[in-house]
């Protein structure tokens, strides 16, 4: 086996006397694809910084193969010391690296290289940082949340680029699909200790559940042993005469073992406070248009959103997703057309900008709006400390300023604030940013149980597939199209064409420009094979239906089973096969017919 390029062994680190990492090991070999997972606050980013040499551990060893190159992508890249994005990216090149590759990557990511750091959006800063770490093609790439603030075209471009690179990868991400497509091994940081699975992320969650189940069984066995020893100490005949110090030491050892077994961190408890039932029609838009300068953001768009719908808005950065969201919720007036909002709407918005909260505000005050120490949830008063615990905050954090929270903790705080307020219309703008996978699972379950209406902007493909009942996609030049189903369904209806490629400019900057440069969206067509299938499948279905009727008539004959068992078994087996073939043919025809109608429209 080849020696590792990067190795961390027995890493220990404490913050403020509290152990964060107690026994962590990380080994990265040439060409390895490793996803790094764990709860928010478990220390993943900290361990990645130790691997990058940015933080020194309290104990343990760090080894980098002599001559091996390593690059680290932080969650919040700092470009302030550079004149423009090109200078920032080129500063990451090593001796002998090709500067033209830096320019090529900037262009591929929709940047010119002349952007000033103080004018960059979060997405543009992340693109520049990606170009900086990818350009040298290092031996080891350490990527902390590389998809944050990226739009779908950029995420898909990044996937393909990383797949083609020779670099070993260590990935921290909340994007399930990104991890599934890139990882071949998984490192789990749990309660300060790392565990490794030599399979990709797709196998991780079942494996994790098995590990936690075995731990729970072991705790139950240990509890029974402690109970038995206590019974002996209290009631044993020998114990009444003279304490057996050996047994007492054994009991104390068991108790200490039980204390040392740190239970798995609890789950976030997500429950939306639902308001009164809204009217059946929630939003109706008729020929709505909106432009900024000469650039159309929305052009002649119509839709009808009804109670219980879950609408996902998808498009490249700068396409106008937030603008359309503001139009649909009445925050922004259209240039032409009409927006009609339904009756009895109680709207709650989760803003993607975590900084919308005063960073000096205390956590408890952010939940109570500074009024007392109770939160009203579903009509009942709850103490703010108890409500905080539902979102995995400790009582000690109640008086901590928001600025002291991590990105994931701020995400949970925003959820806690939004879900405490009565609503029948949830407006979620990038709700998955910085949330860990377990919290995402619970958010999806909560949204599934929510009886109101949801408007959702997200670049998380898996989240859209699990939550959305329809997708409104930016096709380019102000055109928006409504597709039934989730993100994958939308791709199927478009003939697997990807969303329009991003220009790389953030929406706030794009709206200031009189005209945005973006590639034209090509019109998809049915292939010859698809056209042929559309023509022949109805005849196949008709033929199978006739065969099924004939087989059913044969099987309905009296005494067939008794008189000719072999004929009965043959007909029965063929009937099951014919029914399955017809079902497959019908599904294929329906998919192609929907695609044909969509392309025709």
Q: Are 491 and 481 in contact (CB under 8 A)?
A: no
Establish whether 123 is an annotated binding residue: no
- Ordered alpha helix ranges (H), 95-151: 99-108, 122-134
Establish whether 44 is an annotated binding residue: yes
Establish whether 39 is an annotated binding residue: yes
Query: Which tokens go with 11?
Result: 């890493």
- Would you call 529 exposed, middle or buried from its count of C-beta atoms within 10 A (0-12, 13-18, 19+)? exposed
Q: How many whole angstroms separate alpha carbon 529 and alpha carbon 506?
A: 40
The separation between CA 198 and the C-alpha centre of its own chain, rounded to angstroms, equals 22
Q: How many whole angstroms separate alpha carbon 439 and alpha carbon 411?
A: 10
DSSP annotation of 162: H
Establish whether 495 is an annotated binding residue: no
Counting Cα atoms < 13 Å in the Cβ hemisphere of 102 gives: 21
Establish whether 41 is an annotated binding residue: yes
Domain formed by 6-206, architecture: 3-Layer(aba) Sandwich (3.40)
Q: Are 502 and 153 in contact (CB under 8 A)?
A: yes
Per-residue b or e along 436-458, where b marks 16 or more CB atoms closer than 10 Å to that residue's CB: bbbbbbbbbebbeebebbbbbbb
Domain extents in the chain:
6-206, 269-346+430-523, 528-600
- Would you call 82 exposed, middle or buried from its count of C-beta atoms within 10 A (0-12, 13-18, 19+)? middle
CATH code linked to domain 269-346+430-523? 3.40.50.300
For the chain, the distance separating the N- and C-terminal CA atoms, rounded to the nearest angstrom, is 57
pLDDT at position 115 is 93
Nearest one of 126, 122, 81, 445 to 270, comparing CA atoms: 445
Establish whether 40 is an annotated binding residue: yes
Q: How many whole angstroms separate alpha carbon 135 and alpha carbon 165?
A: 11
Query: Which tokens go with 53?
Result: 């040499």
Q: Which residues pair with 283 in a beta bridge?
A: 305, 341
Nearest one of 454, 251, 445 to 348, comparing CA atoms: 454
Q: How many whole angstroms separate alpha carbon 399 and alpha carbon 365?
A: 8
The Cβ of residue 421 has, within 10 Å, a number of other Cβ atoms equal to 17
Query: Which tokens go with 347?
Result: 């709207």
């939004």: which residue's tokens? 418
Task: Identify how many contiguous H helices and E strands the chain contains and give both numbers.
Answer: 20, 20
pLDDT at position 260 is 55
Within this chain, domains 6-206 and 269-346+430-523 share the same CATH topology? yes
Per-residue three-class SS string for 314-373 = ECCCCCCHHHHHHHHCCCCCCCEEEEEECCCCCEEEECCCHHHCCCCCEHHHHHHCCCCC
């219980």: which residue's tokens? 308
pLDDT at position 227 is 66
Q: Which residues pair with 192 in a beta bridge?
A: none
Q: Which residues pair with 189 in a beta bridge?
A: 194
- Would you call 562 exposed, middle or buried from its count of C-beta atoms within 10 A (0-12, 13-18, 19+)? exposed
Total residue count of the chain as it appears in this document: 601
Q: Residue 347 to residues 320, 342, 356, 467, 483: CA-CA distances in angstroms?
A: 21, 11, 18, 18, 24
Q: Are 472 and 480 in contact (CB under 8 A)?
A: yes
Nearest one of 117, 113, 171, 112 to 147, comparing CA atoms: 171
pLDDT at position 496 is 53
* Residue ranges of the chain with per-residue pLDDT less than 70: 1, 16-17, 222-223, 225-276, 351-357, 496-525, 561-562, 590, 594, 597-598, 600-601
Q: How many whole angstroms separate alpha carbon 129 and alpha carbon 73?
A: 7
Establish whether 322 is an annotated binding residue: yes
Which helix (H) or strand (E) is 212 found in, with range? helix 204-235
Homologous superfamily, domain 528-600: Valyl-tRNA synthetase, C-terminal domain (1.10.287.380)
Query: Which tokens go with 421?
Result: 């307020």
Establish whether 408 is an annotated binding residue: no
Q: Which residues pair with 254 in a beta bridge?
A: none
């003939």: which residue's tokens? 495
Establish whether 319 is an annotated binding residue: yes
Establish whether 337 is an annotated binding residue: no
Q: How many whole angstroms separate alpha carbon 297 and alpha carbon 287?
A: 13
Establish whether 316 is an annotated binding residue: yes
């Amino acid at each position: 086996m080849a020696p590792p390029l990067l190795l961390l062994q027995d890493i220990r680190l404490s913050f403020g006397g509290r152990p964060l990492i107690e026994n962590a090991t990380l080994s990265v070999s040439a060409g390895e694809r490793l996803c790094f997972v764990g709860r928010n606050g478990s220390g993943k980013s900290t361990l990645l910084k130790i691997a990058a040499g940015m933080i020194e551990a309290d104990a343990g060893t760090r080894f980098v193969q002599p001559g091996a190159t390593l690059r680290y992508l932080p969650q919040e890249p700092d470009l302030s010391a550079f004149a423009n994005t090109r200078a920032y990216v080129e500063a990451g090149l090593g001796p002998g690296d090709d500067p033209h590759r830096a320019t090529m990557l900037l262009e591929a990511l929709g940047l010119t290289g002349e952007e000033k750091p103080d004018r960059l959006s979060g997405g543009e800063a992340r693109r520049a940082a990606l170009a900086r770490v990818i350009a040298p093609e290092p031996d080891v790439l350490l990527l902390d949340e590389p998809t944050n603030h990226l739009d779908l075209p950029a995420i898909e471009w990044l996937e393909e680029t990383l797949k083609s690179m020779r670099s070993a990868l260590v990935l921290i991400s909340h994007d399930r699909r990104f991890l599934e497509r890139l990882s071949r091994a998984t490192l789990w940081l749990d309660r300060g200790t790392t565990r490794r699975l030599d399979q990709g992320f797709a196998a991780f969650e079942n494996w994790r559940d098995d590990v936690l189940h075995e731990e729970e069984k072991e705790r139950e066995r240990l509890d029974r042993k402690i109970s038995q020893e206590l019974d002996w100490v209290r009631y044993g005949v020998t114990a009444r005469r003279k304490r057996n110090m050996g047994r007492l030491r054994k009991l104390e050892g068991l108790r200490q073992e039980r204390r040392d077994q740190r239970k798995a961190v609890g789950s976030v408890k997500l429950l939306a406070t639902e308001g009164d039932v809204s009217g059946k029609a929630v939003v109706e838009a008729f020929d709505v248009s909106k432009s900024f300068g000469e650039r159309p953001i929305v052009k002649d768009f119509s839709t009808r959103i009804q109670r219980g719908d879950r609408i996902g808005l998808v498009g490249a950065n700068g396409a106008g997703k937030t603008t359309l969201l503001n139009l649909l919720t009445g925050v922004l007036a259209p240039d032409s057309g009409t927006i009609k909002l339904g009756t009895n709407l109680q709207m709650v918005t989760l803003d993607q900008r975590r900084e919308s909260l005063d960073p000096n505000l205390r956590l408890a005050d952010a939940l109570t709006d500074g009024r007392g120490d109770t939160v009203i949830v579903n009509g009942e008063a709850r103490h703010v400390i108890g409500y905080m615990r539902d979102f995995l905050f400790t009582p000690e954090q109640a008086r901590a300023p928001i600025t002291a929270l991590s990105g994931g903790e701020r995400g949970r705080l925003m959820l806690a604030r939004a879900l405490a307020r009565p609503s029948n219309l949830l407006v979620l703008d990038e709700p998955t940013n910085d949330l860990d996978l377990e919290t995402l699972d619970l958010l999806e379950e909560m949204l599934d149980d929510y009886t109101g209406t949801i408007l959702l902007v997200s670049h998380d493909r898996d989240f859209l597939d699990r939550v959305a009942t329809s997708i409104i996609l930016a096709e380019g030049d102000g055109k928006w199209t409504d597709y039934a189903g989730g993100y994958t369904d939308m791709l199927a209806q478009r003939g697997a064409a990807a969303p329009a490629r991003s220009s790389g400019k953030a929406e706030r900057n794009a709206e200031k420009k009189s005209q945005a440069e973006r590639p034209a969206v090509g019109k998809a067509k049915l292939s010859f094979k698809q056209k042929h299938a559309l023509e022949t499948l109805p005849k196949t279905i008709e033929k199978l239906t006739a065969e099924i009727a004939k087989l059913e008539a044969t099987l309905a004959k009296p005494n067939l089973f008794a008189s000719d068992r072999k004929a009965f078994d043959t007909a029965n087996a063929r009937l099951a096969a014919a029914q399955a073939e017809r079902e497959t043919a019908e599904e294929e025809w329906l998919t192609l017919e929907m695609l044909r109608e969509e392309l025709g429209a």
